[in-house]
């Protein structure tokens, strides 16, 4: 059998949808074609200026109930918190006493429902690793009107086979079958929506607009004013970007393709070695992708119909080993895509420069300490903002000692007052006494 047939057969046996299989086969075709998978600096131009979020929402009325009924809030919720010592969905990490990421997401959607006195659809794109924990936690909201059955808010992420580097056939590991598969990246959103039937179901219910973001980005809150602007703009796809800082120089940036002036997204994995300095030049490439996207579902449906059921995203090919813990195990390729790269697929797609408060991801225990402190305030609607004493600038926290890598270590560290801090760096094991107040630049 040809490798294509083996891949298709393997995915069919696993019960994966035709949309997922077609997306995978698109990636294999790109890999086999020999086409360059990098985006050279000579092929692109920097993006000079973009519309400003604050100007757009200031001059726009909030969405009414009729418009909010046409929106779905989709949160990417497939990640585990393993890098911080958690063996369950990352969104279940506590950020304030009795409150985790998932609780805030639910608060935000319920606040929208109360504001407009109408139902607002929530979808959580779970992975096989996060589904059970997430749905169990959501049971506590059974009487809120958020769903009839807890399964009504789940969109399941697909998985794809790892491929042997020499033949592009799917790897076979009879004693460790779980290692035969890998996640396809968040570009899987489009195949997951189509293959699960959710895309057709949403459109049949009159839902045309999707707001998509990562569940660990606590700044990514659905906004009724921007929804109205998006609906009036008639744009099929809008990406929220924000100004890059030194902390963001490894993140994917927006650019203009010289060949046709199309907005595109370039990730570091698509960058040749000699172009890395230009990629990381934040004064040249000023805007990076927050992974907050607004998508017209009818435009997505039509586009996929016209393109053989796929969104032809650029493919990122990662050379790995079948067992990530064993560098001597079978060499494989893992193919993935980025959902933001779809900006290059839709004519009329736009990007909007948003304030930094729209991008507040939690990746490390340093981020967690900031969230748990008084420098960050969270209200009953799930809206997060910096304390007034911060004057709009989040304290920079660096927990450098290895003992602080896992989230359990934060309990031993304690939570000092940080709302008057500019920088806090801790290089040694430490414990703060209760009610400790820090100010200015602190280095321990």
Read off the pLDDT of residues 140-176 as tens digits, 9 standing for 90 and up.
999 998 899 999 999 999 999 999 999 999 999 998 9
Where a domain ends, among 308, 334, 358? 358
Does pLDDT of 1 surpass 70?
no
- Measured CA to CA in angstroms, residue 69 lies from 38, 104, 106, 206, 227 at distances of 41, 20, 16, 8, 11
Does 422 lie in the same domain as 330? Answer: no
The strand order across the sheet containing 163-164 reads 163-164, 331-336, 316-321
Does 379 lie in the same domain as 344? Answer: no
The pLDDT assigned to 250 comes to: 84
Does 44 lie in the same domain as 60? Answer: yes
Does 352 lie in the same domain as 431? Answer: no
355 C-beta neighbours (distance < 10 Å), count = 14
Q: Report the pLDDT averaged over residues 322-331.
A: 92
The pLDDT assigned to 269 comes to: 87
Count of domains for the chain: 2
User: In which domain, by residue range, is 370 found?
Assistant: 365-443
Read off the pLDDT of residues 359-413 as tens digits, 9 standing for 90 and up.
988 888 999 999 999 999 988 888 888 899 998 888 999 999 999 988 888 888 9
CATH number at residue 394: 2.160.10.10
CB burial readout 361-380, b (16+ within 10 A) else e:
bbebbbbbbbbbbebbebee
Does 427 lie in the same domain as 315? Answer: no
Q: Report the pLDDT averaged over residues 294-303.
A: 98
Read off the pLDDT of residues 224-262 as tens digits, 9 standing for 90 and up.
999 999 999 999 999 999 999 887 888 899 999 999 999
Please state which of the ranges 118-122, 292-296, 397-401 shows the lowest mean pLDDT: 118-122
Q: Report the pLDDT averaged over residues 16-34.
A: 94
CA 364/CA 406 separation, integer angstroms? 9
The pLDDT assigned to 408 comes to: 84
The pLDDT assigned to 249 comes to: 84
Read off the pLDDT of residues 264-280 as tens digits, 9 standing for 90 and up.
999 998 998 999 999 99
Percentage of residues in the chain having pLDDT higher than 90: 74
Does 335 lie in the same domain as 266? Answer: yes
Q: Decide the pairing of beta strands 237-243 and 287-296.
A: antiparallel
Read off the pLDDT of residues 98-110 as tens digits, 9 standing for 90 and up.
889 999 999 999 9
Does 286 lie in the same domain as 185? Answer: yes
Does 393 lie in the same domain as 289? Answer: no
Active site residues: 363
Select the more confidently predicted residue: 34 or 377.
377
Q: Helix or strand or coil: residue 367?
A: helix
Percentage of residues in the chain having pLDDT higher than 70: 100
Does 209 lie in the same domain as 237? Answer: yes
Does 403 lie in the same domain as 289? Answer: no
CATH number at residue 345: 3.90.550.10
Q: Which residue has the tokens 């998509």?
A: 212
Confidence of residue 36 (pLDDT cuts 50, 70, 90): confident
User: Crossing angle, helix 224-233 and helix 101-116, to 10 degrees?
Assistant: 70
Where a domain ends, among 323, 358, 393? 358
Does 350 lie in the same domain as 370? Answer: no
Q: What is the mean pLDDT of the chain?
A: 92
Does pLDDT of 181 surpass 70?
yes
Select the more confidently predicted residue: 416 or 60.
416
Q: Report the pLDDT averaged over residues 110-126.
A: 89
Where a domain ends, among 358, 374, 399? 358
Q: Report the pLDDT averaged over residues 191-195.
A: 97
Does 401 lie in the same domain as 306? Answer: no
Read off the pLDDT of residues 307-321 as tens digits, 9 standing for 90 and up.
999 999 999 999 999
Select the more confidently predicted residue: 34 or 414.
414
């Amino acid at each position: 059998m040809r490798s294509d047939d083996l891949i298709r057969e393997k995915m069919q046996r696993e019960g994966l949808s035709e949309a997922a299989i077609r997306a995978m086969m698109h990636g294999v075709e790109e890999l086999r074609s020999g086409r360059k998978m990098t985006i050279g600096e000579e092929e692109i131009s920097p993006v000079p200026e973009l519309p400003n979020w604050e100007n757009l929402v200031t001059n726009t009325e909030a969405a009414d109930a009729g418009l909010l009924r046409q929106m779905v809030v989709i949160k990417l919720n497939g990640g585990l918190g393993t890098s911080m010592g958690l063996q369950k969905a990352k969104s279940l990490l506590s950020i304030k006493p009795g409150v985790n990421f998932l609780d805030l997401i639910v608060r935000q959607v319920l606040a929208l429902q109360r504001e407009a006195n109408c139902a607002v659809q929530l979808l959580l794109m779970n992975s096989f690793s996060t589904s059970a924990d997430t749905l169990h936690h959501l049971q506590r909201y059974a009487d809120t009107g958020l769903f009839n059955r807890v399964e009504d808010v789940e969109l399941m992420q697909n998985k794809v086979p790892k491929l042997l580097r020499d033949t592009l056939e799917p790897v076979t590991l009879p004693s460790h079958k779980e290692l035969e598969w890998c996640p396809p990246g968040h570009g899987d959103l489009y195949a997951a929506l189509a293959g699960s039937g959710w895309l057709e179901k949403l459109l049949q219910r009159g839902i045309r607009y999707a707001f998509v973001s990562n569940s660990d980005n606590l700044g990514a809150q659905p906004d009724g004013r921007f929804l109205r602007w998006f609906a009036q703009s008639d744009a099929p796809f809008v990406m929220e970007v924000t100004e890059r800082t030194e902390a963001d120089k490894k993140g994917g940036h927006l650019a203009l393709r010289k060949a046709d002036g199309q907005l595109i997204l370039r990730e570091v994995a698509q960058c040749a070695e000699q172009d890395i300095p230009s990629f990381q030049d934040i004064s040249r490439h000023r805007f990076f992708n927050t992974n907050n996207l607004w998508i017209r579902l009818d435009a997505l449906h039509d586009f996929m119909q016209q393109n053989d059921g796929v969104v032809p995203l650029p493919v990122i090919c990662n050379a790995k080993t079948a067992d990530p813990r064993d560098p001597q195990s079978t060499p494989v390729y893992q193919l993935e895509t980025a959902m933001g790269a779809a900006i290059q697929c839709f004519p009329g797609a736009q990007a909007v420069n948003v304030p930094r408060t729209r991008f507040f991801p939690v990746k490390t225990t340093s981020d967690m300490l900031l969230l748990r402190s008084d420098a960050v305030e969270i209200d009953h609607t799930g809206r997060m903002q910096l304390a007034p004493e911060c004057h709009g600038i989040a304290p920079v926290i660096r927990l450098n000692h290895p003992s602080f890598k896992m989230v359990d270590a934060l309990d031993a560290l304690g939570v000092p007052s940080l709302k008057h801090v500019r920088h806090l760096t801790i290089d040694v094991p430490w414990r703060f006494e209760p009610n400790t107040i820090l100010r200015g630049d602190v280095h321990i």
